[in-house]
Amino acid sequence: MPAQDVHETAVARYFEAWNATGTEDIRKAVEAAWTQDGTYTDPLADAAGTEALVAVIAAVQEQFPGFAFRRTGEVDGHHGLVRFSWELVSGADGSAPVAGSDVAVLAEDGRIRTVYGFLDRLPQA
């Protein structure tokens, strides 16, 4: 598989995990997207391992019911690294109060080993 396809696939699986619903579906999507010891770190969360990743995703979904993550812009990758931007969009009105950019380190099998997330836009408190 060409390198760009590996990057695109990793990012697509990442969004499938963040947009999965129900604990079991989230777990299956996390297992497809991340390695077993995969991590996710942003200013508000620091998770390591499948169960912690499932818990973080479920907590975000609970905080933002009816919202979905969508990619903005292109996927950029090289040497097992990939970066992309995203926003969290309301299904009700299309607003996107949260947006960010992530950098991921991929494992040999194309799954995510580590994600470093940066929050570019947050809702007002």
| pLDDT tens per residue across all 125 residues of the chain | 565 699 999 999 999 999 999 999 999 999 999 999 999 999 999 999 999 999 999 999 999 999 999 999 999 999 999 999 999 999 999 999 999 999 999 999 999 999 999 999 998 76
Pairing of strands 34-42, 112-121: parallel
Helix 3-19 / helix 50-63 crossing angle, nearest 10 deg:
60
Pairing of strands 112-121, 67-78: unpaired
Identify the CA nearest to 69 among candidates 125, 16, 8.
16
d(CA 99, CA 97): 7
pLDDT, residue 63, reads: 94
d(CA 66, CA 1): 35
Q: Is this prediction's pTM over 0.75?
A: yes
CB-CB contact of 65 with 56 (8 Å)? no
Environment class of 46 (CB within 10 Å of its CB; exposed 0-12, middle 13-18, buried 19+): exposed
